[in-house]
Structure 1
Amino acid sequence: MQRSRASSTSSGRHPAPPPIGLPQPQAQPLEAPKIIVIHPGSQHLRIGRAADLNPLTLLHAVAYRRRPGASDRPHHDPLLPPLDNVNSNSGLMVEFEEQRLLVSRILQHCVVDNKNRLRVATPPQQLAHFNRSSQAEKVPAPSGQMADEPWLDREAPVLFDDRILRLGAVDARNYDIHFPIQRGELNVHKEKGGSLQASMQHLERIWSYALEEGLKIPLRKLGTHCAVLVVNDVYVRRHLREFVTLLLRRLGFRRCFLVQDSVASTFGAGIGYGCVVDIGAQKTSIACIEDGISQLDARVRLSYGGGDLDQVLLLLLRKCGFPYRECNVQESYVDAHLLDELKEKFCHLNTSVCGAQEKHFNLRKQNGQWLRYTIQVGDEALMAPLALFHTELLNITGRTKAVFTQQAVQDQYDCEDCFDAEYLKETGRKNGVRGGDILQLSASAGYQPRPQLPVTADDEELIVVDQDETMSNCQSQLGAQTAGGQLNSNGCYHNGQGLVLPLDQAIIQAINRLSSYETKRKMFGSILLVGSSAKLPGLAAWLEHRISQQVQSEVNVLIKGMDAGMVAWKGAAIMSVLESARELWISQNDWQRHGLRVLRERSPFLW
């Protein structure tokens, strides 16, 4: 692993000269209208020119119309995380109800004003009495909906963006619907359209649609444009290689570079350091940034996000007589999108709001009629976002949630990268023994190192491997393996019951993994909230209070005035026009000639 030249520059040292054989980045004029910034997410894609005020935001999915008479079942990637057998698992519902009562008692001990008056909660039975008697009323179509515009083109071979969100349970059966990114990484699975190359094909179709229909840029003119791609902090190097190939070879951009989303967020927020907490639709990532570098030991991605809160909200609303009883978020994308809108409209973390609140929402039925529903909501609007701090409520979308930290180099090296350090260790020789043979022999009992052999003339041209380093590396791998043979490096982000840590404890755990006390103090004093699900009113103050009760350092949780979901895109747009970003660009010719080698040397993060 090498420190990139960009990181050397940010730390105040002069960048090292490029290796022999790599071309010097040519100084070219930076034209913001010719730079396309792409920020792909699990649910939304944000794309736009670096000169734009705001990016174009669209659903990051594609729906292919099925052939008539197809015998196989349609494939549907869900918009919201699926429930974990809630209907058949009575024990799970009992546990959910116990946690709901626990959170309700916590809210009852909160004060609502300066007179220290406690909150008064409205019982769900009282809310259910009103909601069950509430009847939907017919209303005209929204003003933005044109009368002659078809709601859904059922003959279109491919659907994008809001057209997919108009698919009800019946219409969705005629399409294979794919979300190429799930839980923060490429959605590679064993079902239809789940291979790595198929996922890249889905991305190409979606991004091409966004460029042509949204930004009005013909694909044949992309050779005059550059691209900046925002990637996750916890990444898979093979996936990054495929992303660059997609941008430069398949889409045909002139040049590109990659930037981690947390680093881009610090640029967008205008801060030099901080702990970036990105709460997205299906994942929550935490990363500590200092001088434009994401600290390796303080990166983590948790498998819960705003979509899990949607499912919690739905169960809570059903307990108080949700008037839209036909809601089916598992099969209908219309209903799933509706629930996501209800979370944005209803949910908050303002304890001064108590009692029953009357809310309204509109819904279009399958026959084209628009209906208006009236509902009373109590503490359910607070309990749903509090699931971020009481993760037992999130067990309805899976009791065991994965936690991802950055994999070690030896766990994800790429066989196509002939300059990879692990590849050199395994293929190089010292004293007639290959590095790979050393790893295999050391795993067996009673291994004795071979006696040193004289170096011959043929061996002088072979790569020399430090045998002691190889042996120590192998021993550290063997010692880190658990009984199941898997590396166990994420246990610190689970509690004693095996559940993933709440948001506040995960942040504390990530910051405490830093080695310097001064760095820890700086991170606690600059916690930046970003992401589409970080826009809940009162979330920053609640998170700051929770962390302050557990640490002695001063805690400040920041949230910018702009849309929290656009902060990373804004930061990437700023980075793309900086003078110091010239050395980050990778051209088509560079990628064709040098491949992963140039990506390793030009990437603004530790490869």
Structure 2
Amino acid sequence: MPGKRSNRAIARDEGLERTDNNLDLTTWPQVNMINQKNYYTEYLKRDDQYYAYRIQHEEDTNRMVREARDRDRALAHSNLNNGTPAEPGLVDEDDVGAAASLQDARDFSKIIVIHPGSQNLRIGFASDALPKTIPMVIARKARENESEEGGGEPKPKRIKLDNKVLAESEKWFGDDWAREYAAMSVELKQTMRNHRIRLMPNSKEMVVHYNKKKVHETITEHNDPHRIEWTELPPDPRKAPDYFIGQEALRIPEKSNPRYKLFWPLRHGWLNEKDYASKNLLLQDFAVILEQAIKQQLGLTRRRDWAQYSCVFVIPDLYDRNYVTSVLEILMRDLGFGRCCFQQESLAATFGAGYSSSCIVDVGAQKTSICCVEEGMCADNSRINLKFGGTDVTETFIKMLLFDHFPYADMNLKRRYDFLLAEELKQKFCTVQEMDITVQLYEFHLRAAGQDTRRYTFKTYDETMLAPMGLFQPTIFDNSEKLAGRRKLFGRSYDIYDGSPNDPRSAAQDAVLQWASGQDPSVSNGTTSETPIASLVLSTPSRQLPFQNLSHLTEGEGTPRSSEAGSPGPEDTPQPGRDSPAIGGEDRPTISFHDPVVEKIKEAEARDTILPIMPLDTAILTSITQAARGDDRKMREFLGGIMVIGGGSKILGFNNFLEERLRDMTPALSKEIFIGSPPRELDPQVVVWKGASVFGKLSGSGNDSWIGREEWDFFGSRVLMQRCQFLW
């Protein structure tokens, strides 16, 4: 029996003894396994880990250093004047421009505030009391002007028979429009009778009879004290400028040589994709209008100096992300500003009016926006953007006048002088005060280039009130062309991670689209109530209003899902969105799979096919309801703080009329409703611009919303995620 052997001997005899020199098999560092039960990370959890925040912190530090050096310099200068030698180290000769740079940061004349609209552009320095206002239009050389295009089809469009306009003006705009116009007239008469307002019999017949027989008078040009100075063109067409902007563009004669065509870069609050064939040309015209406005209205003719200026740009509450990123590129690259920031319209309006909480109703030229602002933030679910405004009132007013045999039957809103005349007639004669609805005799002067002035007299009855009432019955407006060209040049924005549309949405806007598509929002929520406000309150405050009226446009809505992220199906199963064949017999239920990204894209495409329109009073209550989210205190606060702004609201008695309609719709809260005008007798059209200028002056260079050139060069449009004070 062999004796016991040691482990070392066994290892030597069996060939198991270690013969290496304890060197590692690789020189790569070996990372030990982390403890899965207790570990954490600080990645992107501190502000200093974001480059944009680090730049802001460095700017604040440099500003504090400059201020300290300026104080030392001032102290040293005062000591020298008093005969006392300055202490060493108080004066820094290396920082000669520190005082100048600090002065520029506090100089509000170095801040340019821009508020573009569909019809007008308002621009000025933050130190100005009021902005400069110019039409947001550019005229470029073309073969024919806008009134000659399409065979000279006028606006508003008349119905033709055998290529001839019908002789009866009552048939010019179709039977449907005539019936709706008559129904509005009957409803107005009934309302006036209820208010015990005396009505004259045969008022309509008196107006039609007078307008049919009235003939204009001709006034020679030298006898017209208010003649218009038209834009002069050089005798040689080859030397004519390539473009005109603003008022000069609107004053170009229709028969000019060469011809000029008007282009409006913004229409209905969107980029005008209908009238442009190229995306680059659209953005170029937008940039040219801003550039020429800065040179002509602000006197900054040297572009190399613009790098010393900052810009505050006003955007809509419900904005398109592609629009904001395109504007950012124009401001930083094409115009060369040193820094810029963006501000929403409703929030800027509260800054201009000095309100902390309010419901802002902005009736613009071609869009109406409604948003509730609370403590310096826009309530996301309350944002509404309606595609009608003062221009629709103007066109409807002209259609009603033509329907009642307006003496100037050739009125064409595509002609520049007719468009300006129509705006003038609306501003002078339109009202919503029932006491003014009587047979009135008015006059106007028609001035066209190369023609003698013509003086017309005409009578009106209820047209002056029915046209503004279209804001509360938007089906009377011509909405046929407002969605034309939508998404033709600029597609919707998509999330870079999952590919879903990420343009901002709101529950109130979804309710508007439901109403426009013919579905009552209260029915879609499964609630019924006699009070309109109560019918719009959601049962679950934490969730948005479901967009149920478009459910038939998506596939397979019968299977609910609990999460946004889709799970891949097993092999040999149908593709997402398609029903699988029956398994084991025809009676087995079908299985369907859903791709949430595809559903979001289909829903966004369906939303783009619906024009967002809703009666103004209903839209205001919808916005307030979504902002209050069932809180009675907030509801009363917003109802008592409604502020109406915008040029479309400058109609005689508009605020009182809107207040009465809101009280009739909510009798339980009628005492709480109050509609105020902008304070300090400020023009409602410039409240937003004024608020943006106040915002630009807040905190000086320490405002966190400023986007510097270095950040933009490094990040591009991604910097908006850190710089915007609203949800981007």
TM score, norm. by length of structure 2? 0.66
Matched, 1:105 2:186: yes
Matched, 1:185 2:270: yes
Partners of 1:519 and 1:476 lie apart in 2 by: 35
- CA shift for structure 1 position 100: 2.1
Q: Contact conserved, 2:371 with 2:379, CA < 8 A, in 1?
A: yes
1:211 to 286, 294, 299: 294
SS at match of 2:50: coil
- CA shift for structure 1 position 574: 0.7
Partners of 2:384 and 2:408 lie apart in 1 by: 38
Matched, 1:596 2:717: yes
- CA shift for structure 1 position 124: 3.1
- CA shift for structure 1 position 86: 5.0
- CA shift for structure 1 position 145: 5.8
Amino acid at match of 2:312: V
Change (3 A) 1:173 1:359: farther
Q: Which residue of 2 aligns with 1:300?
A: 384
Q: Contact conserved, 2:141 with 2:258, CA < 8 A, in 1?
A: no
Partners of 2:271 and 2:608 lie apart in 1 by: 22
- CA shift for structure 1 position 267: 1.0
Q: Which residue of 2 aligns with 1:94?
A: 175
Q: Which residue of 2 aligns with 1:583?
A: 704
Q: Which has the higher contact order (CA 8 A, sep 6+)?
A: 1
Matched, 1:519 2:634: yes
2:651 to 530, 536, 541: 536
Q: Which residue of 2 aligns with 1:358?
A: 441
| Count of equivalent residues | 531
Q: Contact conserved, 1:125 with 1:320, CA < 8 A, in 2?
A: no
Q: Contact conserved, 2:218 with 2:452, CA < 8 A, in 1?
A: no
Partners of 1:329 and 1:72 lie apart in 2 by: 13
- CA shift for structure 1 position 249: 1.1
Change (3 A) 1:490 1:151: closer
Matched, 1:398 2:480: yes
Partners of 2:154 and 2:124 lie apart in 1 by: 28
The superposition leaves residues 548-589 of structure 1 with CA deviations (integer Å, 9 ceiling, x where unpaired) of: 111233211222232211110011011110118711111111
Q: Which residue of 1 aligns with 2:692?
A: 572
1:174 to 259, 264, 272: 259
Bigger Rg, structure 1 or 2: 2
1:563 to 672, 676, 683: 683
Q: Which residue of 1 aligns with 2:242?
A: 157
Q: Which residue of 2 aligns with 1:341?
A: 424
The superposition leaves residues 458-512 of structure 1 with CA deviations (integer Å, 9 ceiling, x where unpaired) of: xxxxxxxxxxxxxx99548638956xx8455998x97xxxxx3211112222222
Partners of 2:154 and 2:384 lie apart in 1 by: 20
Partners of 1:412 and 1:162 lie apart in 2 by: 34
Matched, 1:388 2:471: yes
Q: Contact conserved, 1:529 with 1:558, CA < 8 A, in 2?
A: yes
Q: Contact conserved, 2:158 with 2:172, CA < 8 A, in 1?
A: no
Q: Which residue of 2 aligns with 1:464?
A: none
- CA shift for structure 1 position 202: 0.4
Q: Contact conserved, 1:414 with 1:420, CA < 8 A, in 2?
A: yes
Matched, 1:135 2:216: yes
Q: Contact conserved, 1:280 with 1:306, CA < 8 A, in 2?
A: yes
SS at match of 1:278: strand
1:51 to 124, 127, 150: 127
Matched, 1:324 2:408: yes
- CA shift for structure 1 position 365: 2.6
Change (3 A) 1:550 1:293: same
Partners of 2:601 and 2:381 lie apart in 1 by: 16
Q: Contact conserved, 2:137 with 2:264, CA < 8 A, in 1?
A: yes
- CA shift for structure 1 position 120: 3.7
Change (3 A) 1:336 1:400: closer
Gaps of 5+ in 2: 1-44, 61-101, 235-239, 503-564, 582-592
Range with greater deviation from structure 2 (340-349 or 315-324): 315-324
SS at match of 1:265: helix
Gaps of 5+ in 1: 1-14, 405-409, 424-434, 448-471, 495-499
- CA shift for structure 1 position 206: 0.7
TM score, norm. by length of structure 1? 0.78
Q: Contact conserved, 2:265 with 2:286, CA < 8 A, in 1?
A: yes
Matched, 1:284 2:368: yes
- CA shift for structure 1 position 385: 0.4
Range with greater deviation from structure 2 (311-320 or 255-264): 311-320
Amino acid at match of 1:163: E
Change (3 A) 1:84 1:391: farther
| Superposition map of 1:9-48 within 5 A | 17=47, 19-22=49-52, 23-25=54-56, 26-27=59-60, 29-48=105-124
Q: Contact conserved, 1:45 with 1:57, CA < 8 A, in 2?
A: yes
The superposition leaves residues 187-235 of structure 1 with CA deviations (integer Å, 9 ceiling, x where unpaired) of: 124x6x4433221100111111111111111223211111110011111
Partners of 2:258 and 2:251 lie apart in 1 by: 13
Range with greater deviation from structure 2 (85-94 or 586-595): 85-94
Q: Which residue of 2 aligns with 1:502?
A: 615
SS at match of 2:379: strand
Q: Which residue of 2 aligns with 1:227?
A: 311
The superposition leaves residues 77-134 of structure 1 with CA deviations (integer Å, 9 ceiling, x where unpaired) of: 9xx99646655796962222222222222332445999x4434476333123333324
Amino acid at match of 1:56: K
Q: Contact conserved, 2:265 with 2:282, CA < 8 A, in 1?
A: yes
Q: Which residue of 1 aligns with 2:662?
A: 547
Q: Contact conserved, 1:273 with 1:523, CA < 8 A, in 2?
A: yes
SS at match of 2:407: coil
Amino acid at match of 2:247: D
Amino acid at match of 1:361: F
Partners of 1:443 and 1:291 lie apart in 2 by: 44
Partners of 1:317 and 1:603 lie apart in 2 by: 47
Q: Contact conserved, 1:231 with 1:258, CA < 8 A, in 2?
A: yes
CA RMSD of aligned residues (A): 3.8
Partners of 1:208 and 1:393 lie apart in 2 by: 38
Change (3 A) 1:122 1:199: farther
Amino acid at match of 1:549: D
Partners of 2:227 and 2:634 lie apart in 1 by: 52
The superposition leaves residues 172-196 of structure 1 with CA deviations (integer Å, 9 ceiling, x where unpaired) of: 981232110001011124x6x4433
Q: Contact conserved, 2:147 with 2:154, CA < 8 A, in 1?
A: no
Change (3 A) 1:400 1:64: closer
Partners of 1:202 and 1:479 lie apart in 2 by: 33
Q: Which residue of 2 aligns with 1:454?
A: none
Q: Which residue of 2 aligns with 1:407?
A: none
Partners of 1:490 and 1:527 lie apart in 2 by: 31
Change (3 A) 1:436 1:173: farther
Change (3 A) 1:103 1:73: closer
Partners of 1:297 and 1:166 lie apart in 2 by: 43
Partners of 2:392 and 2:193 lie apart in 1 by: 28
